[in-house]
């Protein structure tokens, strides 16, 4: 443990000296801080998805955090947490996050929130130094902590803004202000998949042709949708979530390569953007190129497998191999004259990095994250805007946009109690670096997700047809009609055009009321939402 004189940051370092004869499973260190007083102005910040603020007085118990709070996953978009008590704060930053995470406890009603860090081995050994940096702050709030982390990212050379990315691929400017449409072509759920429903066979297999999707896009244009990005699932012969990474040819019964090209060409004729869903982590046993020698192997020699998704039994493709498959598959699409604007590489930014102990392609988690970024970088080099499932600080230099970056409650059943106050911690750091589409669902009479879209200055979902019903936020909503959906999206699109490349300068609770929140962007634009009255106000800046 030591203190940096210039900044007065305090460093905690765990250094393995000798591991002979040991099999360390986890190191829990440093421990949780005492944070026991039941006061509203004592609160904890967790980077659980978009961000969570938990006052010590919060009445709802904190539930399980996805991926056990592992840094680099949906459980921790950024590798830090913070405590603030009466404007005195401590920011705890993990500088070696690749095999680390956090755990948090908050009982119903408080009076505390405890957060501890844990470190795991890399390929069976602790091997390298683990570092936590603690920054003590006075007269601070959560905004100040986010800006301290933004400064840290910039110092590491990893703060890559949309302005910088657009200088390389100008198509980013076309994506800004789009309404997002998520739909698909072919669904095929294998009988040996956990999702297979023998009692409802219609749920297991269905098909929409490329021509039907083409007509749908023309219909949106005629209805007044000005700018649209289409994210297309299940476009290949195997069907959605099947036989990856061997995901060609285009689905024959839907129109084949000719039908897919016609859809892409129609999108561009309408002035819209076109992109596809793809996957380079799940390694399906039914894939023609499946070879166990390229699957992730644990240090005990075993190869993890499961059969949760539509394609049935799978292992995980070693991340070192993913860039080669990406290059192969997108070369096929280019040769077939499928003009892509964007591409979605599923799960990369949501799930933890993998490890592989196969000596032919041994890979640490850190190297896995680097390989995933190589995939994004390749797409950018081809003029294709890369996206993935969620966001994470490690992908910011290489990725342009995501499928969503939600608050944690949005992926639970509507009406479920919130674990704290939703706050945009990630956007306070990275708003001007990534494009985030937001759900626009009116899930009930007193919960309208559009308010979060405008508050965050994001892009809107115009249509969202999730591949798995009642999963990942795809729940039944109040139907309001296409014309009204377009009208609502126009509001969000106009705001996004204005602020997409602006830093989110500040977020605040108006008069200390959690139900009335305001964001301020670097150009002077302010957005105020009232979650009690379900209203919003946008005041555009003059810069």
Instruction: Over range 457-471, report the average pLDDT.
Output: 84
Instruction: Over range 294-320, report the average pLDDT.
Output: 98
Nearest to 193 by CA among 281, 314, 348: 314
Structure confidence by residue, pLDDT tens digits, 20-45: 999 999 999 999 999 999 999 999 99
Is residue 374 assigned to a domain? Answer: no
Instruction: Over range 250-263, report the average pLDDT.
Output: 99
Structure confidence by residue, pLDDT tens digits, 204-230: 999 999 999 999 999 999 999 999 999
pLDDT confidence band for 468 (50 / 70 / 90)? low
What is d(CA 239, CA 244) in angstroms, rounded to the nearest whole number? 10
Q: What angle do CA 186, 399, 160 make, to 5 degrees?
A: 165
Check residue 480 and give its pLDDT.
74
Average per-residue pLDDT for the chain = 97
Nearest to 283 by CA among 246, 233, 235, 234: 246
Structure confidence by residue, pLDDT tens digits, 339-381: 999 999 999 999 999 999 999 999 999 999 999 999 999 999 9
Is residue 235 assigned to a domain? Answer: no
Spacing of C-alpha 29 from chain mean position: 28
Check residue 471 and give its pLDDT.
57
Is residue 376 assigned to a domain? Answer: no
Residue 470 has pLDDT above 80, yes or no: no
How much of the chain exceeds pLDDT 90, in percent? Answer: 95
Instruction: Over range 472-492, report the average pLDDT.
Output: 80
Is residue 511 assigned to a domain? Answer: no
Nearest to 500 by CA among 458, 438, 446: 458
Check residue 234 and give its pLDDT.
98
Q: Is 194 exposed, middle or buried (0-12, 13-18, 19+ CB in 10 A)?
A: exposed
Spacing of C-alpha 128 from chain mean position: 28
Is residue 130 assigned to a domain? Answer: yes
Is residue 443 assigned to a domain? Answer: no
Q: Strand, helix or coil at 27?
A: strand
Instruction: Over range 106-119, report the average pLDDT.
Output: 98
Check residue 201 and give its pLDDT.
78
Instruction: Over range 512-528, report the average pLDDT.
Output: 98
Check residue 313 and give its pLDDT.
98
Q: Give the number of domains in the chain.
A: 1
pLDDT confidence band for 476 (50 / 70 / 90)? low
Which residues span the domain enclosing 29?
Answer: 2-155
End-to-end CA distance of the chain: 46
| 340-371 b/e (C-beta count within 10 Å ≥ 16 → b) | bbbbbbbbbbbbbbbbbbbeebebbbbbbbbb
Is residue 129 assigned to a domain? Answer: yes
| CA within 13 Å, CB half, 255 | 18
Is residue 279 assigned to a domain? Answer: no
Check residue 479 and give its pLDDT.
65
Q: Which residues make beta-bridge pairs with 28?
A: 118
- The crossing angle, in degrees rounded to 10, of helices 322-335 and 365-381 is 20
């Amino acid at each position: 443990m030591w203190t940096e004189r210039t900044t007065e940051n305090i460093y905690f370092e765990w250094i393995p000296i000798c591991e002979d004869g040991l099999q360390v499973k986890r190191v829990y260190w440093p421990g949780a801080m005492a944070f026991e007083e039941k006061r509203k102005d004592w609160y904890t910040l967790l980077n659980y998805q978009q961000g969570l603020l938990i006052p010590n007085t919060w009445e709802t118990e904190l539930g399980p955090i996805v991926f056990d709070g592992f840094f680099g996953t949906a459980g921790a978009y950024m590798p830090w947490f913070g405590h603030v008590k009466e404007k005195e704060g401590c920011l705890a930053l993990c500088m070696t996050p690749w095999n680390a995470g956090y755990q948090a406890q908050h009982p119903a009603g408080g009076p505390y929130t405890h957060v501890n860090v844990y470190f795991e081995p890399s390929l069976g050994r602790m091997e390298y130094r683990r570092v936590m940096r603690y920054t003590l702050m006075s007269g601070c709030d959560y905004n100040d902590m986010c800006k301290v982390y933004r400064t840290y990212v910039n110092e590491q050379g990893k703060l890559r803004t949309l302005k910088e990315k657009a200088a390389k691929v100008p198509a980013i400017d076309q994506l800004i202000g789009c309404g997002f449409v998520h739909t698909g072509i072919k669904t095929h759920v294998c009988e040996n998949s956990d999702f297979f429903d023998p009692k409802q066979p219609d749920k297991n297999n269905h098909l929409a042709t490329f021509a039907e999707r083409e007509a749908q896009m023309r219909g949106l244009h005629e209805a007044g949708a000005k700018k649209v990005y289409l994210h297309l699932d299940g476009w290949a012969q195997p069907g959605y979530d099947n036989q990856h990474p061997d995901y060609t040819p285009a689905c024959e019964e839907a129109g084949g390569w000719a039908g897919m090209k016609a859809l892409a060409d129609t999108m561009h004729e309408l002035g819209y953007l076109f992109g596809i869903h793809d996957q380079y982590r799940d390694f399906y046993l039914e894939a023609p190129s499946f070879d166990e020698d390229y699957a992730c192997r644990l240090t005990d020699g075993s190869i993890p497998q499961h059969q949760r998704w539509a394609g049935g039994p799978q292992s995980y493709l070693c991340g070192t191999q993913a860039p080669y498959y990406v290059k192969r598959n997108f070369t096929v699409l280019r040769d077939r004259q499928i003009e892509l604007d964007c591409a979605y590489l599923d799960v990369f930014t949501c799930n933890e990095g993998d490890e592989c102990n196969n000596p032919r392609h041994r890979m640490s988690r850190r190297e896995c994250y680097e390989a995933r970024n190589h995939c994004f970088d390749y797409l950018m080099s081809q003029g294709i805007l890369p996206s993935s499932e969620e966001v994470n600080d490690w992908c910011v230099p290489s990725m342009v946009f995501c499928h969503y970056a939600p608050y944690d409650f949005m992926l639970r059943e509507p009406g479920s109690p919130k674990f704290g106050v939703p706050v945009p911690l990630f956007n306070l750091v990275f708003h001007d670096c990534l494009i985030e589409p937001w759900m626009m669902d009116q899930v009930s009479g007193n919960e309208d997700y559009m308010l979060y879209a405008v508050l965050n200055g994001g892009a809107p979902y115009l249509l969202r047809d999730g591949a798995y019903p009642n999963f990942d936020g795809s729940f039944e909503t109040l139907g309001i009609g296409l014309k009204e959906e377009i009208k609502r999206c126009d509001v969000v699109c106009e705001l996004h055009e204005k602020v997409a490349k602006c830093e989110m300068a500040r977020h605040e609770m108006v008069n200390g009321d959690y139900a009335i929140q305001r964001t301020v962007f670097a150009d002077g634009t302010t957005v105020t939402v009232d979650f009690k009255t379900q209203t919003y106000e946008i005041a555009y800046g003059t810069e």
